[in-house]
Amino acid sequence: MAIATKIQASIESASWIRKMFEEGERLRKIHGADNVYDFTLGNPNIEPPAEFYAEFRSLAQNPLPGMHRYMSNAGYEDTRRAVAEFMAGASGQAVTAGQVMMACGASGALNVVLKTILNPGEEVIILTPHFVEYKFYIDNHGGVPREVWTDRKTFQLDLAAIEAAINSKTRAIIVNNPNNPTGVVYSAESLKQLGDLVQKKERVLERQIYVISDEPYSRIAYDGKQVPNIFNAVDNSVIVTSHSKDLALPGERIGFLVANPRMTHVDLFMEGAVFCNRTLGFVNAPALMQRLVAKLQHASVDMKAYERKRDLLYNNLTAMGFRMVKPDGAFYLFPQSPLADDVEFVKAAQKHNILLVPGAGFGAPGFFRIAYCVDEAMIERSLPAWQALAEEVGI
């Protein structure tokens, strides 16, 4: 075999992503782009805010000496200080630049954290339905993913199930708030209960257990809600996040990790993380983007635009008979599949030029995901097709 057996198997298990993409391309060629309703990708259709371009122009017109050179693996001190100030404000904790490391997106930060903390065979709890890549990232660093379902009706944390899954091999729990694919936001109270549970288990098992809070959507919350900060709930916590969604910069690969200043051995953790950023080959986060986001910590895209899209889809689809939890954040809906087999349902939707992702892709068969970070006009145009689909599958 030309490539590693494990990678070959992984390519096959994730082949639905490629198939969805190819199907979209095929349908667009036949029916025209305007008549295909592609809800598969979490790629924001919104452009970055005006402040981003203003900073970008200013930097291009006044380049700084050495601004494209290598730097400290943790990132520019100024940028880390700006992030620390923002995170201190958001959490009320005394976060300093020493607890911030700039990274290549939340994905890069997550890989760095897992590399830093995992010994071979240690377990990482992931909460189902979960982001597709978590299993691959955990495996990258010799860990073993352990799936624990959230409450199947509300998708909120099932603390009893998490408690039952924690054992002497558990090293971390990944919490994604707001959640991809469900859009739910975990409350401050449930995060506090999680913190209490982790602390109890750490005492009994005599080992440090981390809560890794994956938060690229933390500024996308609706109806005036705020996403609670994990630092107040769990001492041994680390936030991994990025500006892929709040500044609509996913292609620029700019993110960071922030360790809770109250984490046990926080300095050692940061030293390990910076070393892993280097040796995983990221070396440092993109220099130009670090300069820009240092000035943009308080900027973000218009969240109201996402809220309007959520309302448009949620109100229309529930009126047609689709059943789902109303999301409080991110830009996804995760309805129940009207057919027992979610893959069959996604195929039925394709016949109406609606492209969706089956729940099985998130470890949750029986559901499907709609990514609504798309043009509002496309959502409007898709509604008759949704109605026809609802009738075809008999809801």
Residues that bind ligand PLP (CB under 6 A): 42, 105-107, 131, 176, 180, 214, 216, 242, 244, 250, 255
CB nearer to ligand PLP: pick between 107 and 229: 107
Helix axes 5-13, 15-31, angle to 10 degrees: 40
Nearest to ligand PLP of 143, 255 (CB atom) = 255
Q: Which is nearer to ligand PLP, 201 or 243 (CB)?
A: 243
| Minimum CB distance to ligand PLP smaller for 27 or for 106 | 106
How many other C-beta atoms lie within 10 A of the C-beta of residue 40? 21
The Cα 124–Cα 142 span in angstroms is 11
Instruction: Please report how close the Cβ of residue 360 comes to ligand PLP at its closest, in angstroms.
Output: 17
Tell me 250's DSSP state.
Answer: G
> Which one, 27 or 325, has the nearer CB to ligand PLP?
325
Three-class SS of residue 233? Answer: coil
Write down the least CB distance from residue 168 to ligand PLP, Å. Answer: 28
- Widest pairwise Cα distance in the chain: 65
Task: Choose among 219, 133, 178: nearest CA to 326.
Answer: 178
Shortest distance, CB of residue 349 to ligand PLP, whole angstroms?
21
Q: What is the residue-wise DSSP string for 256-307?
A: EEEE-TTSTTHHHHHHHHHHHHHHTT--SS-HHHHHHHTT-TT----HHHHH
Token look-up 């809600």 returns 225
Minimum separation from the CB atom of position 111 to ligand PLP (A): 10
Q: What angle do CA 378, 336, 151 make, to 5 degrees?
A: 125
| Closest CB 394 distance from ligand PLP, rounded Å | 32
Taking the least distance from each CB to ligand PLP, the nearer of 233 and 254 is 254
Closest CB to ligand PLP among residues 273, 389: 273
Comparison of 201 and 369: residue with beta carbon closer to ligand PLP: 369
Which residues make Cβ contacts (< 8 Å) with residue 263, sequence separation at least 6?
210, 235, 236, 237, 238, 269
User: What minimum distance in Å lies between the beta carbon of 42 and ligand PLP?
Assistant: 4
Q: How far is the CB of 300 from ligand PLP (least distance, A)?
A: 14
Residue of minimal CB distance from ligand PLP? 105
Element (H, E) at 311: helix 303-320
**In whole angstroms, how far apart are CA 102 and each of 42, 73, 165?**
22, 8, 32
Min. distance of Cβ 362 from ligand PLP in angstroms? 10
211 and 251 Cβ atoms separated by less than 8 Å: no
**Residues forming a β-bridge with 235:** none
Provide the minimum distance between the beta carbon of 108 and ligand PLP in the complex, in angstroms, as a whole number. 6
- Separation between Cα atoms, residue 129 and residue 122, nearest integer Å: 21
Closer to ligand PLP at the Cβ: 105 or 261? 105
Question: Can you tell me the distance from the alpha carbon of 382 to that of 387, in angstroms, rounded to the nearest whole number?
Answer: 9
Q: Which of 37, 331 has the CB closer to ligand PLP?
A: 331
Tokens of 113: 């954290």
Contact yes or no for 327/183 (Cβ under 8 A): yes
| Shortest Å distance, C-beta 66 to ligand PLP | 27
